[in-house]
Amino acid sequence: MNQNQRPKVPRRALDGVLLLDKPVGLSSNDALIRAKRLYLAKKAGHTGTLDPLASGLLPLCFGEATKFSQDLLEADKTYEATMRLGIRTTTGDAEGEALETRDVTCDQGAVERALAGFRGEIVQVPPMYSALKRDGKPLYEYARAGQTVEREGRRVTIHALEMIACELPDVTFRVTCSKGTYVRTLAEDIGESLGCGAHLVMLRRTGVGALTLDNSVTLDALSDAAESERDAWLQPVDALLSTFPLVRLDAEATRRFLHGQRLKLADLSVDESVLSAERTRVYAAEGKLLGVARVGEGVLAPERLIVS
């Protein structure tokens, strides 16, 4: 070995979920790289990006937990956001250049009524500054080149939308929405409905599915902590699966399940929540997570398994 070369630090086979409170100004991938380095983890991934402008909950998956990250991509998200009325920008947020300035003549009551009109299922046109692809190229590349391409509206669901504060021209709101919802676009559309336009100046994600910021940690806190303290921040793999109904298998059924065999539901002890579900989390009798299964046609079919 070259004397100037540093010896490679061995990586750890680590399984679990880290609820990271991502800071403003850092991309999701950069946050993942920093956390992975702190944990010396062999394998890690995140569960959907947060823009650098945004802060808040970014669940990171290590080891076997990466198999279930897709489930959080599909989950509903909750955000707190502040929009500034009267100014439209090129990106729909504070990172863009001002396109248009209009007088803000509405009052709090008008804002409340506007919010009510965006609850439920709505149609959104994805923003040009997004990672969606057209002809194999992300939309933001067209936008940076000064081009605008046609985008089809997409149906999304706004499960909850409420005002937190109104100090015009700024309005702070909380929204819980389905996957694929752009909060920047929501703010712009609310602004247009008020006749003055708007852009997003703050975005903080507070929930992903059943996960919240309650047990989250910052990169600074992780960096200052000892290794044993860092490991204490890790949630078990099944933290990602808490909304799925639960099935426990006896020793023989566990053996067959781990060999990829489909199990008849009639032969298992399951409750009604399993029978009406599409997917379920599966455990051995002693409580060890075995994986996730699909439910249908009277059988439990292994979908993703945990490697012992």
Among 230, 216, 198, smallest CA distance to 96 is for: 198
Do residues 251 and 285 make contact, with C-beta atoms less than 8 angstroms apart?
yes
Tell me the C-alpha to C-alpha distance, in Å, between residue 204 and each of 25, 79, 240.
12, 5, 20
Identify residue 194 by its one-letter amino acid code. L
Dist. CA 43–CA 63, nearest whole Å:
5
Cis peptide before 169 (omega within 30 of 0): yes
Beta strands in the chain (DSSP E): 16-22, 44-46, 55-62, 77-85, 87-89, 98-101, 120-124, 133-134, 137-138, 154-167, 170-177, 198-208, 211-212, 246-249, 263-264, 279-284, 289-296, 299-305
Q: Looking at the annotation, which residues are catalytic?
A: 51
| Cα 300 to Cα 243: distance, rounded to the nearest angstrom | 17
